Amino acid sequence: MLALFVGSSLALRIDKPAPVSRRGALSAGAFAAVAVAVQPVSAKFVEPEEGAVFTSKQKLKAELAAAAATRTEEERIAALPITKLKVVRDKIAEGSVLVDRGNWDELRARIELQEVNDVVKRAVPYQSPASQDVAALKTKLLAQLRPVDEFAYKQQKEEFMPSILKDYCAPGVVPRDEPGACKLRPVLDKVPAQARLKDAVATLDAIIKALS
């Protein structure tokens, strides 16, 4: 019976851990702290899974990335030759309003023949099957715009010279029927120039269609 009790006591004995010195404890703690500190920290942004809640920082970063991607795509499209051709087309389409307002400087800037010629030429891809058709349309386009440019240039010269030097009456003055009296300023016929601008826009539409 005594032997059984002694055997049970030996079986239930728990070994005590070996004593650790103060220096050893400090060394172990320092090693653990260094191990944690040197763990790599990933700075990569990970999109939350579908249905997950965005934090404010994640949402801002996603919005900035989307805005940058949109801006890059817009700049790429704006730089395309066909896009620049469409811009020229839209500018010329507003020419009729400029004629009506007598804004000759702006009109001539928009229909500058050399610029229009260059924009059309750059919009034609290398060895494009539409190159011959576009070349013929470009010749037609320049022939439509040239008289408008000449008309606008003439009006610029007319406005540069004071009315008094051309014997025109001042606004609101009725000319008298006598020698040396002033004369009415002739009514400017703007319809032909506006019609040519309309035809030029139609030609540009045909060029854009041929290249699309």
Q: What is the pTM of this model?
A: 0.62
> What's the pLDDT score for residue 47?
56
Q: How many structural domains does the chain have? A: 1
pLDDT tens digits for range 110-167? 999 999 999 999 999 888 898 999 999 999 999 999 999 999 999 998 877 665 456 7
Tell me: the pLDDT tens digits for 192-203? 999 999 999 999
CATH of the domain at 92: 1.20.120
> Is residue 11 situated within a structural domain?
no
> Residue 114 domain-assigned?
yes
35 found inside a domain: no
Percent of the chain whose pLDDT exceeds 90: 43
User: Domain range for residue 103?
Assistant: 58-173+188-211
Q: Give the whole-angstrom CA distance, residue 193 versus residue 145.
A: 9
| Domain contains 10 | no
**Helix, strand or coil, per DSSP, at residue 172:** coil
Question: What secondary structure does DSSP assign to the chain, as a single string?
Answer: -HHHHHHHHHHT--PPPPP--HHHHHHHHHHHHHHHHTS-------PPPTTPPPPHHHHHHHHHHHHHHHHHHHHHHHTSHHHHHHHHHHHHHTHHHHHHHT-HHHHHHHT-HHHHHHHHHHHSPTT-TTHHHHHHHHHHHHHHHHHHHHHHHHHHHHHHS-GGGGTBPPTTPPPPSSTT--BPPPPP--HHHHHHHHHHHHHHHHHHHHH-
pLDDT tens column, 44-60: 445 556 655 568 888 88
Residue 90 lies in a domain: yes
Does a structural domain hold residue 121?
yes
Q: What pLDDT does 53 receive?
A: 57
In a domain, residue 4? The reply is no
